[in-house]
Structure 1
Amino acid sequence: MTNEQIKVNGRLYSLKEIKAQDPETAKWHEADRPALDFVCRWTNGQTEFRINTSGSTGKPKTIAVYRDKMLHSARQTVKALGLSQNQRALVCLNTAYVAGMMMLVRGLEAKMRMEVVEPGALPFENTDEAPDFVAMVPLQLKALLEAGYRQMVEQAGCIILGGAPVDTVLAKEIKTLKGVKVYATYGMTETVSHIALKRLNGSVPERAYSALGDTEIATDDRDCLRLRSFLTDGEWLQSNDIVRLHGDKSFEWLGRVDNVINSGGVKLFVETLEDRMAELFANLGINRRFFLSGVSDEVLGQKCVLFYEGKAFSDAEIQRLKEAIEKNFGKYERPKAFLAVMSFEESPTGKVLRTPTKAKAYEVD
C-alpha cells in the first residue's frame, strides 16, 4: 500500500479513482461507503461538511464544519506529533463523526498510508502491523491491553485518546508502556477536533494539557476554560470545563461545571472523585462501569450518589465497598446511595449518557 491508496476494511482503493467517482452513484461496498464518500468529497475540494454530534452533553444534532478549519486543526496535530509522509495511519473511529473524519484529513494532509477498519473494541484485530499513528477511545486501548495486544501497542508510534476521560486504572497501565507515545486530547465540537494534548507516558507523564498552535487560553470567574484561535474565528469560546492554568499555554482539567455536586456547601468535582473511585474498584476486584452524580437532598442540597451497571451488588459486596469508601473518601465525598442500572445509556460513539441512565436506576442501599 502506498500513500496514493487507501485500504478500507481490507479492500484497496486508489485515491485517484476515488476522486473520479460520483459519491452518489459509486458502487462501493456499503461498509466502505462512509470513509470513501468523505475522501471523494475532500479530494474534490468540498468546503462544507455536515456531521452528527454524539449527543453526550445534549441532544444529538447535525452541524456544519468547514474545510479551512479542518485543515488548520489537522496541520496543528501533524506538526505537534511530528507526523510525516508515508507513515502508516490507522483509522478505527466512525468516519461519520468528526473524530473519524479528522483522522482521514490528517492522513491525507500528511500524505500518510491509511488503513480504515470498522470501529470496534479491538482495532488491531484485523490489521497486520502496528500503525505509526492511531486515534482511539480509552475503552479500545483498554480492550487491546486486556486481550494480549500489548506488544503491538508498544510497537505503534503514537496513540491519541479522546471521546472520554482516561481513568486512573488505565492511566497507570499506560505509564508502563514503552516505545509508543500515548497522548490524551482535549477539544470540543466547536473546535472541530482537539486543541490540546497531554503526554500520558514516558519519563515524566504530564498533568497538564498543552494548547496547540495559535490557541490562546484563559478562565472566567468560575475557573472555566475560555479559548481563542483561528478555529473560533478569533472570538473567545466559553467552555463549561473547570481548569487550573499552568502558564499561558497549559492547563489542568478538573471536571465539568455542570457535574459539580454542591453537598452541604462543599463543591465536589465529580471527575476527580471518579478517578479515585475507579482505583478503589480495581483494588477490590470490582469490574463494573460506574459514575457519580448529584441527587437532590433536603438536608445537603445535593448528595453524592454512585450509579453502577449490572445486577445489584449483594449485601456483602455493598458492605465491603462501604468500608473501603469510608477509609478513602471524606465525609461529603462518600456516596450516600448506590443505584444499580442494568445497562447504561450510550451515545452512538459509546459515551455514557448520564441523565437518561439516572432515570433507569433503582436504589440498592
Structure 2
Amino acid sequence: MNIIGPIKFLEELFSKENDFLLSSFEDETLTYKEFFQLAKDKAQNINESFEETCKETKNSLVSLTPNNTREDLINILAYWLAGRVLIFHAPETSAEFIKEYEALISKDLKTNELLKDKTIACYILTSGSTARPKPIPLSFENLFSASKKFCKHFNVNDQCYLPITLPLYHVGGLMIFIRSITEGAKLSLHNPGKISPEDFPQCPSFMSVVPLQLERILDNKEQHEFYRECTFIIGGAKTSHETLSKIEQYKFKASSTYGMSETCAMVMATKVTSKASVLRSIGMPLENVDISLDSRSALIIKSDSTSPIFRDGVIVTNDMAYTQEDLFYIKGRIDDVFISGGENINPLEVESTLIESGISDAFVIPVEDEKLGMMSTLFYTGKQDQAEIKQLASSNLPPFKRPRYYFKVPDYAFTGIKLKKSILKEVAPLLVSIERARELFPLTFSGDPRRPWIILLHGFMGEKEDWNKIQELLRVKFFTIALDLPGHGENRNLTSLSLEKLQMDFAELAQLLAKPFHLLGYSQGGRLALGLVMRGLEVESLILESASAGIVDEDEREKRYQSDLKLFSRISNQSDLREFLIYWYENPLFGKIKEHQDFEHFINKRSQYDWKLWSEALKSFSVGIQPDYRPFLQRRKDLNALTICGERDHKYLAASMELKTRYGLNFEKISDCSHNTHFERPEEFANTICKFLES
C-alpha cells in the first residue's frame, strides 16, 4: 500500500460525516469531521508553540504515555498532523527511561539506512515479555497495509463498531484505531483491565482481547448474552485449552491470530468460528502475507506490514510451527529449547501435554542446576493445587520431562492484562532457592521476590503463620519469608535444637537464598535473631520486636534456665495445655491481649500443639542459656537495627531504651498495646517496618 503525504491521506479518511468516537460516561459522540477538527486545531497549536520556543531545529520525536482517554486519541492524530514521529510508552514509564529511548531513537532515525525514504509514524516498544523492550519503527504504509488485511479478512465496514479494549501504547490498541478509520467504523475507548457490558453503547462487532480479558468474560455468565453477536479477536499470548473449550461450549464467535509489534499486529488468523480445534491453531496468512518454514521449522514472514528495519519485509522468527489440514500451529520457540541432564526439553511441548491433561495453563521456565545443567520449573494457573499438578505431570510426562518445581502463576507476573514471561524467568531461580530452603526450615512466603526481602522469626510457642497478617500488609513493598523455628510449628527437627546448630542452618539458608535480607524477630525470635547476627550472620538490617539483649547476671540466668525447664512439668494433655496458655497470657506483660477479637482462635490453635517440643526447644533457646549480647553490641555500633515495643510493655520498654541509648539502635513505640505488637496492632507495626526500611 503506497501512502504519499500522510497528512493529506489522514484528512481524506476523516472527511466522513458518520459517527466516529462514540459517547462514554463523560463525553459526547463525535463524528469523523468533528474529531478531525479537534486534532487539527491541536496540531496548529503544537506547531505554533514549537515555533515560539525553538526556531532553529525541529525535533520530530514526541513521547506519549497514553492511558486510553479521548485526549490521548486526539493527541495521536494531532501530532501526526503536525508531522511528528511518536514514541509510545506505558503511563507509568519513568522520565529517565523516556529520555534514554528518545536519544536511542533519535540516533536510529539519523543513521539507519533502512529508514531512509520511509515515512515513520511511530515507534512501538516490544512488550519485553522475553527481554528488554526494543523500539520498533512503523511507517504509515505498515500501519494501513496491516489494517487493510485485517478489514478484508473480517469484512469490516462503516457499520461496524470496534472498541479500543487494548492499551494504545501497544500495537494491538493502536491498530484498533487504525482499522476503524480505514473503513469508517465506529470506536470507543476503554480501560483494558476493567471491561463490562455497561461500558459499551452497543455490542461490539469485533473486540480485540488477550486471553485474560476473554477468560473474565467467559467466567461471568451474566454477560454472555450481551456478547452473543460479538467476534472476539484473540491475540497477545497463547490461549489455554480450557478457555477455547468454553468458547465452543458457549457458542461464542472468535478468531485466533498470530502477529507481533514488528508486523503491526496480526499477519495470520483463523476464520471466525466457535470450534476449539480450529482456534488452537493460528490459522492461515492474511492477504499478501507469505509464510514459510525454514529447516528448523521456524516461521518466516514476508509482508508489507513488516517494519522497515527488516530488509525486504522479511522476518525470520524464533517461533517453531507446523501445518496440519491447511492450518498453522505453534509448537515452541527455538530460543526456549534447553538441555536438562543431556535431554532436549521443548517447553511448549511439555506445556501442551499438561494443558491437554487438564491444567488450565502452563509455563515451563528453565533454571540453572549444578547436576542437570538446566532443570525445568512449571508455573501453572487453574483451581488444582500443587499436589494435583504434580500427579498430572507424573501421569502424562516421561521422567526427564517432568518439572522439578511447581509454582502458581503469581499476580505480579501480569502487567495490566498480559502475562510477562520475563518476570517468570526472573523469579523462577529465586523461588527455587526458597523451595530448597524448606529442607532447612518449614516456611511461608508472600510478595514479589524482586522486592527487598525480610525473614520473620516468631516467638516462643509461636509458628510461621503468626506473621500472616503482617505478610499481607507488607507484600506490596517487600518479599517476606516466615520460618518455623526448631521445636515449633511444623519444624520437628530436634537435631537443630542448639544455638550452634541454628547458626549453621542459618548460614546454609543464607547461602541457598543467595539474596540479601532483613531479619525480624519477635520476643524469643528476636533474641535468636540478635544472637545470629552477633555470631556473624550478615543481614541488611536487624529488627527486634519486644526482645532484649539477655540477662547480665550469671546467677539470674541459671535461675531463669531452671525455671524454664519446669515450665511444662504439670501438663499431661491438651486440656492442661489450654489452662496453661490462658494462665500464661494473663501475665501483665501481655496487657489486654485477652480482649483481642482473635484471642480465642489464637488459644484454640496453640492448644493443639505438642508442648513436649516447646519444652525441648526451651533447653536450647531459653533466655537463661543465651549469652549476654551487650559486649557484642558494644563492638557493633555500625549495626543498622531497630527495636520495637508496645507502650504498655514496661519491661521491654526499658530494654528497648537501653538498646537505643547505650548501643545506638533505632527505637519505635507502638501505641495502645503490650508485648505482642504485631498481633495487637498489625497496621501500625507494618507501617513502622516500612518507615524504617525505606528511610
Give the TM bin, normalised by the shorter chain: 0.7 to 0.9
Contact 1:171 1:200 in 2 (8 A): no
Q: Tell me the CA shift for residue 121 of structure 1.
A: 4.2
Amino acid at match of 2:401: E
- The answer as to 2:169 corresponding to 1:96 is yes
> 2:195 aligned to 109, 112, 122, which one?
122
Query: Does the alignment pair 1:146 with 2:222?
Result: no
The answer to which structure has the higher helix fraction is: 2
Kindly indicate whether structure 1 or structure 2 has the higher relative contact order, using CA contacts under 8 Å at least 6 residues apart: 1
Matched residue, 1:295: 367
Give the equivalent residue in structure 2 for 1:304: 376
Inter-partner Cα distance in structure 2 for 1:192 and 1:325? 38
Q: What residue number does 2:406 align with? A: 338
Stretch moving more, 42-51 or 268-277? 42-51
- Counterpart selection for 2:431 from 341, 356, 361: 361
Which whole-Å CA distance do the structure 1 matches of 2:392 and 2:265 have between them?
39
1:32 has 2:66 as partner: no
Q: TM-score, normalised by structure 1?
A: 0.83
Gaps of 5+ in 1: none
* CA distance in 2 between partners of 1:250 and 1:219 (Å): 13
**Contact kept? 2:208, 2:232, Cα under 8 Å:** yes
In structure 1, C-alpha distance between the alignment counterparts of 2:220 and 2:303, rounded to whole Å: 40
- Aligned mates of 1:30, 1:301 — CA distance in 2: 45
Q: Is 1:223 the counterpart of 2:297 in the alignment?
A: yes
- C-alpha contact (below 8 Å) 2:161/2:186 kept by paired residues: yes
1:220-256 deviation line (CA, Å, top 9, x unaligned): 2321111112224634311000111459x85221122
Aligned amino acid, residue 33 of structure 1: E
TM-score, length-normalised on structure 2? 0.46
Q: CA deviation at 1:360?
A: 4.2
* Residue 137 to residue 151, structure 1, CA distance change in 2 (3 Å): same
Q: Which residue of 1 aligns with 2:127?
A: 54
Q: Map 1:1-365 to 2 at 5 A.
A: 3-7=18-22, 9-10=24-25, 11=27, 12-21=29-38, 22-23=41-42, 31-41=69-79, 47=119, 48-148=121-221, 149-156=223-230, 158-178=231-251, 180-199=252-271, 201-202=273-274, 205-206=277-278, 207-232=281-306, 234-246=312-324, 250-278=327-355, 280=357, 282=359, 291-307=363-379, 317-339=385-407, 343-347=411-415, 350-352=418-420, 353=422, 354-362=424-432, 363-364=434-435
SS at match of 2:227: helix
Q: Structure 2 CA distance, aligned partners of 1:120 and 1:341?
A: 18
Greater Cα radius of gyration, structure 1 or 2: 2
Answer yes or no: is the 8 Å Cα contact 2:20–2:187 preserved in 1.
yes
Number of residue pairs matched?
349
Of all paired residues, the percent bearing the same amino acid is 23
Measured in 2, the distance between the counterparts of 1:110 and 1:40 equals: 20
Q: Cα deviation per residue 1:13-47 (whole Å; 9 max; x = unaligned)? A: 33323322344669xx9932222222445678875
What RMSD over aligned residues (CA atoms) do the two structures have, in Å? Answer: 3.2
> How far 1:103 moved relative to its partner?
0.4
Contact 2:124 2:170 in 1 (8 A): yes
Take 1:224 and 1:125, find their aligned partners in 2: how far apart are those partners?
A: 43
Which whole-Å deviations, capped at 9, do the CAs of 1:265-316 have from their partners, x for residues lacking one?
443332342244345565xxxx8x7521122334443222123589xx9xxx
* SS state at 1:17 partner: helix
Amino acid at match of 1:222: R
Kept after mapping to 2: 8 A contact 1:54/1:347: no
One-letter amino acid matched to 1:67: F
Report the 3-state secondary structure (helix = DSSP H, G, I; strand = E; otherwise coil) of the residue aligned with 1:116.
coil
For residues 301-347 of structure 1, the C-alpha deviation after alignment (integer angstroms, 9 at most, x for no partner) is 3222123589xx9xxx5444323321122222211122467544344
Give the whole-Å Cα distance in 1 for the aligned partners of 2:276 and 2:355: 22
Residue 74 of structure 2 aligns to which amino acid in structure 1? L
Tell me by how many angstroms 1:131 deviates. Answer: 0.9
Structure 2: 5+ residue stretches without partners: 1-16, 47-66, 85-118, 437-695
Bigger fraction of residues in strand: 1
Q: Compared with structure 1, are the counterparts of its residues 41 and 111 closer, same or farther at alpha carbon in structure 2 (3 Å cutoff)?
A: farther
Matched to 2:335, the amino acid is D
